[in-house]
Structure 1
Amino acid sequence: MSNRAVLEVIALDAEDAIAAQAGGADRLELVTDMAADGLTPSRETYARVRAAVDLPLRVMLRLTDGFTADDVEALQRVAGDLRSEGADEFVLGFLDADGHPDLTVLEQLAAELEGCRWTFHRAIDHAADRAALRKQLADLPGLDTYLTAGSAAGVDTGLDTLRAEAGLRGEPGHEQQLLVGGGLRLDHVPALRAAGVDAFHIGGAARPAGWSSPVAQGAVRAWRRALDTDAA
């Protein structure tokens, strides 16, 4: 199906990854410690997940909660270790104290990730000016996706922003794919698909029993069906 929407699912381990793939996920975001909104998993976890599934894996690069980079050299080392294990897709995003993109850090990490594709995550929803951020990051190599709810408060609040940005796809600063996630529900899908959104990201929605429980294959399959039905 040429207009099939991308479904990305957060995985914490191989069990999650296997269930997400069986449910129809197209890609995984691999993280640890969701209490801190998702941090970098261990190299060993990456290796186990990579051995368990053949889906694309985007690995989180964030060592502490929040949107500041802290130890850039540590981030570079972790990125290098993961790359040596075979990782070639990543998720990252750092802001300075004023809510502007931390270009120094982002440029250093983009250089470390040369040849890799990566997502700028929901730091965009906390930026002082999201349109300015997109323009500032437009030429960073490898950046092909923005993960966003349209608002720091989630998709309910950000729907109008998401619709507007979907309509700008391909224009300067909007060449990247819009990956919608953050309080996303199935009832949001029709309006987002109608606006042209073609990529969706779920975490808690894939775990009806909560974050202490693994990804549920049936929950992922319900999302797959919903996205495919809307495409049809």
Structure 2
Amino acid sequence: MTYIREACVESIEQALVAEENGADRIELCADLDAEGLTPSRELILSAKSHLNIPIRVMIRPRAGDFVYNNAEIKQMASDIAFCKEAGVNGVVLGILKEDKTINIDAVEKLAEIGKPMKFVFHKAIDETPAILESVKSLRDLGVVNGILTSGGENTASEGIQKLKNIIALAGDMEVICAGKITTTNLEELHREINAKAYHGKRIVSGLE
């Protein structure tokens, strides 16, 4: 198997179907209609006890932008500590400043709390003014294990060239390509991009 298929799910039922149909990893969220929020602690524990594949948990306290106040960052820290205790594989989050650049200080603090879990910076990176600069700053920080991105475009297929540039820059970070990737276009995209991981709500069959 040349790449990882990460299924984005919001229930234990979806997670089990994804695992059964060949997903290599789960991103567990609540409320996918709002692009994914932090799931309940019950759901995290249930997924941990039922699944045999790695689970990464979305840490996002509310819908809307990715500029968080101190109370929200405190909530994120508490959720990350819970995930670490629950033994999940990693957490997925993104924090920006008012000017849409990455809030490096907050990322560093939250990554520290989560160690040794995997720490993935999500599609908030697609909103930053200079995506390749953002990738470099995360790479140089040395605490981020992965980036979830569609190359700053609406879909991975529109972002192919940028995704290839991001992979070339990312160093040891895993670039997880996202953006309307499904069972029908995955192989074709992989031939173009040659990434190590792909992410989607329909990345394996049975999740339609």
1:26-175 pair list within 5 angstroms:
26-65=24-63, 66-70=65-69, 71-166=72-167, 168=168, 171=169, 173-175=170-172
TM-score (norm 1): 0.80
Letter in 2 for 1:68: V
Distance 2:98 2:144 in 1: 22
Deviations 1:30-67, CA, capped at 9 Å, x for gaps: 00011221011111111111111111000011101222
Deviation at 1:162, TM superposition (A): 1.5
Secondary structure at the aligned position of 2:176 is classed as strand
Moved more, 135-144 or 42-51: 135-144
* Same amino acid, percent of matched pairs: 26
- 1:216 counterpart = 2:206: yes
User: What CA deviation, in whole Å up to 9, does each residue of 1:67-117 have, x standing for no partner?
Assistant: 223321111112112222223411011111111001121111011112111
CA distance in 1, matches of 2:91, 2:120: 6
The secondary structure found in structure 2 opposite 1:25 is coil
Give 1:153 deviation, angstroms: 1.9
Q: Distance in 1 between matches of 2:107 and 2:56?
A: 17
Contact 2:145 2:174 in 1 (8 A): yes
Count of paired positions = 204
Map 1:178-193; keep pairs closer than 5 Å: 178-185=175-182, 186-187=184-185, 189-193=187-191
TM value normalised by structure 2: 0.88
Name the stretch that deviates more: 7-16 or 140-149. Answer: 140-149
2:22 to 24, 47, 56: 24
2:157 alignment partner, SS class = helix
1:227 maps to which residue? none
* CA RMSD after TM alignment: 2.1
Verify the 8 A CA contact 2:177 2:199 in the aligned structure 1. yes
The one-letter amino acid of 2:181's match is L
**Given the superposition, is the C-alpha separation of residues 195 and 176 from structure 1 closer, same or farther in structure 2, using an over 3 Å criterion?**
same
Q: Please give the alpha-carbon distance, in whole angstroms, between the structure 1 residues aligned to 2:77 and 2:155.
A: 30
Q: Give the direction of change, closer, same or farther, for the CA distance of 1:90–1:198 in structure 2 (3 Å limit).
A: same
SS of the residue aligned with 1:59? strand
How far 1:183 sits from its partner (Å)? 1.7
For residues 123-181 of structure 1, the C-alpha deviation after alignment (integer angstroms, 9 at most, x for no partner) is 11111111111221124454221111112422232122123333x1xx5x433122111
Q: Distance in 2 between matches of 1:17 and 1:98?
A: 36
The separation in 2 between residues aligned to 1:72 and 1:112, in whole angstroms, is: 12
| Residue 12 of structure 1, aligned match among 10, 13, 17 | 10
User: Contact 1:126/1:152 (CA < 8 Å) preserved in 2?
Assistant: no
Letter in 2 for 1:216: G
Structure 2 counterpart of 1:98, one-letter code: D
Partner Cα separation in structure 1 for residue 111 and residue 102 of structure 2: 13
Asked whether the 8 Å contact 1:69–1:105 carries over to 2, the reply is no
Shift of the 174–69 alpha-carbon distance from structure 1 to 2, 3 Å rule, reads farther
Unaligned runs of 5+ in 2: none
Does the 8 A contact of 2:4 with 2:196 survive in 1? Answer: yes
Displacement, 1:192? 3.2
User: Kindly tell me: are residues 165 and 135 of structure 1, through their superposed partners in 2, closer, same or farther at Cα, counting changes over 3 Å?
Assistant: closer
